[in-house]
Chain A
Amino acid sequence: EVQLVESGGGLVQPGGSLRLSCTASGFTFSDHYMDWVRQAAGKGLEWVGRIRNKAEGFTTEYAASVKGRFTISGDDLKNSLYLQMNNLKTDDTAVYYCCRAGRVGGPSGYWGQGTLVTVSS
């Protein structure tokens, strides 16, 4: 059974940093594209970024709103996905979801339960 479990959310001050983790199980992590998607309270879904599979060098893509501040990485030995978030802004406050896409991209067929990040002074 595919499972994705996010952790690392919490309260951080504007300008601060936070690293989210997503532990994957039930599939070979390095074979799949993985996404981070966020959702502010009462708002819609916003795609944050994607990491391709190991065969494609774990290369990444980002939304303009986070490019240069957020970094996605993966560790296939730990079956884990990470989202390093720097220079956080109040607009980054949201639930962050880890998602599994297909082996060559495509939609997010599996989602974690999400972890809440609150950026506030």
Chain B
Amino acid sequence: DIQLTQSPSFLSASVGGRVTITCRTSQGINNYLAWYQQKPGNSPKLLIYAASTLQSGVPSRFSGSGSGTEFTLTISSLQPEDFATYYCQQLNSYPLTFGGGTKVEIK
């Protein structure tokens, strides 16, 4: 199974700040990587797929990059509504797997 390791698991940031979350995979996944945002009490929401393609309706301050076994999610200017937990998921091979999550809180 492909393991996904997210870092950090928790970060504190200010509104307007830049945030970068890393997802490392245990083997190459051909860029079949997605990022989700989950707010407390809500279902997850797809932000990015194929490592860097923004899902329709997602603000452009979110971006994804990376290749091979290292991927990043960047929020260029953190907004109050962005405080949430973020998960990566690999879709290259079964079983599909998620990273452990990164909780972004207000500084």
Q: Which residues of A contact B (CB under 8 A)?
A: 35, 37, 44-47, 50, 61-64, 97, 105-109, 111-114
Contact = CB atoms under 8 A, between A and B. Distances in A.
Interface string B69-99: 0000000000000000001010100111111
Given A47-B96, A61-B95, A108-B34, 7 more contacts: A37-B44, A45-B89, A97-B43, A106-B34, A106-B49, A108-B36, A111-B44
Given A61-B94, A64-B95, A106-B49, A47 B89 contact: yes
Contact of A46 (B43, B46, B91, B98): B98
Contacts, number: 54
B43 A45 contact: no
Interface of B: 1, 34, 36, 38, 43-46, 49, 55, 87, 89, 91, 94-101
Nearest to A46: B98
Nearest to B32: A106
A61 B98 CA distance: 16
B42 to A, nearest CB: 9
A106 B97 CA distance: 13
Contacts of A45: 36, 38, 44, 87, 89, 98, 101
Contact of A62 (B43, B87, B95): B95
B38 to A, nearest CB: 8
A25 B49 CA distance: 23
Given A44-B101, A106-B49, A107-B49, A50 B43 contact: no
A109 B55 CA distance: 8
28 contacts: A35-B96, A44-B87, A44-B98, A44-B99, A44-B100, A45-B44, A45-B87, A45-B89, A47-B89, A47-B96, A47-B97, A50-B96, A61-B95, A63-B95, A97-B44, A105-B91, A106-B91, A107-B34, A107-B36, A107-B46, A107-B49, A108-B34, A108-B36, A108-B46, A109-B49, A109-B55, A113-B43, A114-B43
